[in-house]
Amino acid sequence: MPLDFKAKIIQIPDWPNPGITCFDTSSVLADPLYFKQAIEELARPYLEQKIDLMVGIEARGFLVASVLAYRLGSGVVMIRKKGKLPRETIAQEYSYEYASNIIEINADAVKPGQRVVLIDDILATGGTMSAAVKLVNRLGGEIVGISFVVKMDFMAGEERLKGQKIYSLVNYA
């Protein structure tokens, strides 16, 4: 019997700001059965492909990217908020539902031609992921796909990721 991931994801109204609903995926990560199945489902599109790097976006993206990298035999790279990486970085500004921010990646993290999958827990407006795509493209990486635990179709984040292959475990219409 397939697992009901939507039933496991906790929706928290008015967090982090009034009018915003948080879709908390930590309950999926905390349950061994759900976590294992989530990784298997998220790995499926890439099983027959050569993937050099999983690029995880701070912070839950790190967790999923690390396990997917292990599962697929690739390396793992982090994209973090500004000021969190100690070596030379490149940066990209972005905006989302209620704020703007800057993310960074180590300047030598992705080599030209490396086949990359970007990972984050949630696709909402697409601001963070579109900035991550720009960073990987600037370093010359070839983006094979972008994966999310949750994709909020009603937020239209895919519009900012046109031309990318997008995979998700759960969709909210």
Extract the tokens encoding 156. Answer: 């239209």
Which residue out of 40, 97, 142, 159 is catalytically annotated?
A: 97
Indicate if 97 belongs to the active site: yes
Indicate if 60 belongs to the active site: yes
Distance separating alpha carbons of residues 107 and 33, to the nearest angstrom: 37
Give the list of residues 6+ apart from residue 156 with CB closer than 8 angstroms, or none.
125, 126
Contact between 131 and 93 under an 8 Å Cβ cutoff? The reply is yes
Peptide bond into 16 cis (omega under 30): yes
Give the catalytic positions in this structure. Answer: 60, 97
